[in-house]
Structure 1
């Protein structure tokens, strides 16, 4: 390795900005690390570092040295966010709080790209204009004045896919294109940086929505577990039992057992009511509520599997479709319990007491699958959030594809 570059612990230490000697080779990229976005950060940081080295050999003035130093600081921050050089325990901690770290890595890499656009020759920036145009169109709204200004510049440059301005009858020469890019460099960098900031805000909104879904799933799961524990410890507190009457007699029907027939409520109600409470106490089982929740959870799992066909998927790394599917499971258990509670309270007109244990389980299945009525709205909102993250895998209506 050249004497001007040294490598310690896999890290490449470049010579100070302004030295003419180019390092013979780069150090190791680092890693492997535990999460995909961390690997992408390390790869992108190495690529941008190579570009920075090339720019150093061209820019020996004060501004160039300052920007090169800023680039290195941002690259160090991005690599640190990716967990490079950390202990295994530290890396696990970084993975658990990956949201802010991902923002740190993305924002620093965006800053590096903006600095390099200021350093690169105008001819190189001109070659990147189609990619920059696509980046701006992906993340800025069509009515955004920054996007409109960038598209006007692309028209003047004759970039493919953008209709030329009416007053421009011939495509400008390459020398004219380079001159226009040099004159508008600051504007180009500012607009591209704004598009990168908008892309980061889209990721923040996506992660925020995902966190809300995950938090709701955890709370609903704890509630379902609490109900199951309540049923196991105090089965008579909320019995999932019905008292159908037929041929002058009544019986208590629970999810796991049913009582012997006894006289219906007539004549003197208080003794009959006490007798019915005793019969419910004898018939109810600790596992009744647990069975209801398990049946509702199973039905919700079937609904989640069926809903997969409507998911478009996403290249984003936050796993929102998985979080939406997981929300259905505790919701199925809760809706099965609440639905039977409404039936037991005769809330539904015209629907009498259930006659057998099989009917109770069947209705739990129906109510468990019925959670789709509620979670479907959450699924739709999740898909809207995903579509608002206008990445390279989304073609925007009204714009030409590249």
Structure 2
């Protein structure tokens, strides 16, 4: 493989390539087993599809469309799974592999699934018949279909996160530009505590002045993003590694930062309107910026639900474990 190809190899490609090599090794062993020609031919055709998907090099426009649709990832996994199914069905020692196959199927099929029940009813103590092999094929295909379909769900969630991030970025940018053009249109200021007859008119703004300035919204967004980054760091530290072809954690962190910026602006605007009067005590610019950071961190309340949903999706798309290889 050339250096340019190596630089574009990702974790999911390494996993698929490793499993494809394992399938080819199994096919080599099956060459001396009579009656396996049809399964070996089907497995080789699937491996050709895997190779084409792994080494596809499209032009940048097609590469973006491919990345968005995920066709090369899902096509490679589906073809690899079909090759693995064909190899398992042709194994002469299939009866001895049943415990490992049951473990793989149990990860994705519920206990009341008839295909899983049929697989669990097979006896490893006797040689596998053609009916037993058909049961194994159906059960494995159902389990692989479940994880392959979950890939589509993870891709759809990733694309939604990207779309939401773009919308939030546009909104934050528009608010910042509006603050530059009309500084007082969205005041990022708060009333100081009463200390005299006319003190209710005294305010402090995000940039430190008594009147709204063009940098107020940008400063509030920056401090709000800092508060959200703290929540994003917590997310990164608690997330376990995954070999899933779709990685969502970066997009989740981006949503937190952008949403934190937006909520900081909305929150300071509420403080300026006196919505939280009596609940907060803002006496200086530092206090106002501190509230901006806290408001930015408050996005964690809403994005926590998103994090939990993303965790469930990622659990479903993890690759099925390999079958235990028995000595021949």
Which TM-score applies when normalising by structure 2? 0.84
Note the C-alpha offset of 1:349.
5.3
Note the C-alpha offset of 1:65.
4.4
How many residue pairs match? The answer is: 316
Instruction: Please point out which of 97, 115, 139 is paired with 2:108.
Output: 139
2:80 maps to 109
Going from structure 1 to structure 2, the CA distance change for 1:70 and 1:341 (only over 3 Å counts) comes to same
Provide the C-alpha distance between the structure 2 equivalents of 1:349 and 1:248, rounded to a whole number of angstroms. Answer: 18
1 or 2, which has the higher helix percentage? 2
Q: Secondary structure at the match of 1:242?
A: strand
1:282-361 to 2 correspondence within 5 Å?
Answer: 283-348=211-276, 350-351=278-279, 354-361=282-289
Provide the C-alpha distance between the structure 2 equivalents of 1:148 and 1:363, rounded to a whole number of angstroms. Answer: 58
Instruction: Please point out which of 57, 61, 69 is paired with 2:41.
Output: 69
Note the C-alpha offset of 1:314.
3.0
Q: Is 2:18 the partner of 1:43? A: yes
Q: Is 2:137 the partner of 1:189? A: yes
Contact 1:344 1:353 in 2 (8 A): no
2:196 maps to 247
Note the C-alpha offset of 1:39.
2.9
Q: Is 2:314 the partner of 1:381? A: no
Contact 2:11 2:243 in 1 (8 A): no
When structure 1 is superposed on structure 2, of 91-100 and 315-324 the one drifting more is 91-100
Structure of higher CA gyration radius: 1
Note the C-alpha offset of 1:353.
8.1
Q: Secondary structure at the match of 1:246?
A: coil
Note the C-alpha offset of 1:287.
0.5
Note the C-alpha offset of 1:104.
0.2
Provide the C-alpha distance between the structure 1 equivalents of 2:254 and 2:134, rounded to a whole number of angstroms. Answer: 47
Contact 2:271 2:277 in 1 (8 A): no
Note the C-alpha offset of 1:300.
0.8
Provide the C-alpha distance between the structure 2 equivalents of 1:88 and 1:43, rounded to a whole number of angstroms. Answer: 26
CA RMSD after TM alignment: 3.0
Note the C-alpha offset of 1:247.
0.9
Q: Is 2:164 the partner of 1:216? A: yes
Note the C-alpha offset of 1:383.
2.0
Provide the C-alpha distance between the structure 2 equivalents of 1:339 and 1:149, rounded to a whole number of angstroms. Answer: 58
Higher relative contact order (CA 8 A, sep 6+): 2
Unpaired stretches in structure 1, ≥5 consecutive residues? 1-9, 11-27, 158-171, 260-282, 394-402
